[in-house]
Amino acid sequence: MERSRRDVLAAGGALGAVGALASAVPAWSWSPLGSVAGAGAGLDPRNVWDAEADPVVAAVVERGQVGEVNKLLRTWRKNGQALPAGLPADLREFMEHARRLPAWTDQEKLRKAVDFNEKRGLYLGVTYGFASGMMSTVIPREARAVYYSKGGADMRDRITKTAKLGYDVGSRNAFAPDGEMIVTCVKTRLAHAGVRHLLPKSIYWRKAADEQIPISQADMMVTWHSLPTTVMQNLTGWKVPIDAAESAAFLHSWQLTAHMLGILDEYIPASWAEADAQAAQVLTPILAPTPEGIKLADTLLGLGSFIDGSVLTKPILSALTRYVLGEEIADWLKIRKTPFWDGVFETAWEPFIAVREGLLKLEKAPGILQQTYWAFDEVLRLGVLLLLSGAKFPISIEIPHTNNPNY
C-alpha cells in the first residue's frame, strides 16, 4: 500500500532532478487547442503576466494609495455588492471588468460542484492542506515569492488568506451574488499584481530568484495544478468513487477560479486529461527543495503545535504530509519520520476511505483500524485550526505596500 507523490504523478511524468531551474524545463509545447478557449497564441506563459491588473495596481502603489484602497475594499465582501465609493477611477474600471464571469460559465455545473464538495469535504480538506498547501513549499518560485514578499512575515495570516480561497470555491453560493468567491479572486489578483510590482525591488529575492518578475501565467498555472489537479490525482489514487458529472463540475469550478484570478483562457485546461498533460510539463519537473521552502514548511507544521500545545499535533501533521506527498518530498523538506503515525497512515488511510465510501463495513475492519480512524477526522479539525486559529475575521486579502520587512 506504499504510496508516494511520485506514484500520484506517474501519469504525468517523473519528478525532475533536485534543484532544476526554469531554464532546464522543456520549452512550452502545450497546445491552446486543449484549453477552455480552444485557441490561443501559444506563447510561453513564463513570459506572460497580467497585462490588465499590473499597470493599474502599480499606479496605486506609486501614488501612495494602497492604505486607502485596502481600507475601502475591506467593506467589499459579497460578489453582488457594489464596489465601495472612493476607489481610484482606474482601479474601479478594472475591478468592474474583472468581477464579471466569463461567457462560458455553466451554472448547472456549478450547482453539481456543490454536491461534489459536500460529499468529499473531508478528503478535500486533507488534500488542500497537505497535498496542495505543503506542495507549495517545494515549488521553488512560489516558495521564494512567499518568503520574501509581505506574506512571508506572517505565515499564519498568509495561509489563512490562501485557505479562504479553498473554502470559498467549495461553498454553496461560491459564484452567486451572495457568495464571496468572485471577491476573493479579484482581491487575490490585485495582491498578485502588487507582489509583481514590489518584489523585484527586493535585493534578497533578486539574489535567490531565477526570474525577473514573479507570478507569471506559468507560475499561476503551477499553483493551480497544485490544487484541483493534485486533488483529483490523489482522490483517484485513493480509489474514491467519483461520478463523472461531479468530476467535470469540480473541474469547472476551478476553471472559473483560474479565469477570475487573471489566468488567460488559453492556458486553462478544458479537461482532466489536458490538466494532467499540462501539469506534467509545468508542475512535475520543477518540484524541488529550496532553503526558503524548507523554512516555510517547518513554519507551517510548527503552527499546528502552537495551536493547542499537543505533542501529537506536529507528528500527525508531519506523518500526513509524508503520506500524501511521499518520502522524497518529505525528505527534501527535512520532515522527520514518525514511525507510529507514518505506519498508521500507510496502513489505515485507504481502508478508512473504503469505510466512509461504504465499500468496507467498519465491523469487518481490523481492530487497529477501528482504533485509529478517529485520528483522521481529528487531523481535519487540526488542519482547520492550523489555518484559521488566531486569524482576524473577516479575512481581508489586501494589496501589499511593502515586501517582507525582515529581509
What is the DSSP annotation of 24-48? Answer: GSPPP---GGGBSSS------GGG-
**Cell numbers for 65:** 494609495
**Mean pLDDT for the stretch of residues 228-233:** 95
365 CB-near residues (< 8 Å, 6+ apart): 351, 355
pLDDT in tens, 95-122: 999 999 999 999 999 999 998 988 888 7
User: Model confidence at 340, in pLDDT bands (50, 70, 90)?
Assistant: confident
> Per-residue pLDDT tens for 264-291?
999 999 999 999 999 999 999 999 999 9
Q: What angle do CA 313, 325, 247 make, to 5 degrees?
A: 105
**Picking from 235-244, 307-316, 317-326, 339-348, which range would have the lowest pLDDT averaged per residue?**
307-316
Q: Residue 203, Cβ neighbours under 10 Å: how many?
A: 11
DSSP string, 122-133: HHHHHIIIIIII
pTM, entire model: 0.87
- CA 343: distance to chain centroid? 27
Which residues, 6+ apart, have CB-to-CB distance to 347 below 8 Å? Answer: 1, 368, 369
Between CA 255 and CA 245 the distance in angstroms is 15
Question: How many Å apart are CA 133 and CA 135, to the nearest integer?
Answer: 5
The confidence band for 390, taking pLDDT boundaries of 50, 70 and 90, is low
User: Given its phi and psi angles, is residue 203 left (phi above 0), alpha (psi -120 to 50 degrees) or beta?
Assistant: alpha
Q: Burial letters for 297-306: b for 16+ Cβ neighbours within 10 Å, e otherwise?
A: bebbbebbbe
pLDDT for the residue 179: 96
CA torsion 379→384→249→118, rounded to 10°? 70
pLDDT, one tens digit per residue, over 52-84 is 999 999 999 999 999 999 999 999 999 999 999
| Helix locations, 238-290, DSSP H | 244-260, 272-282
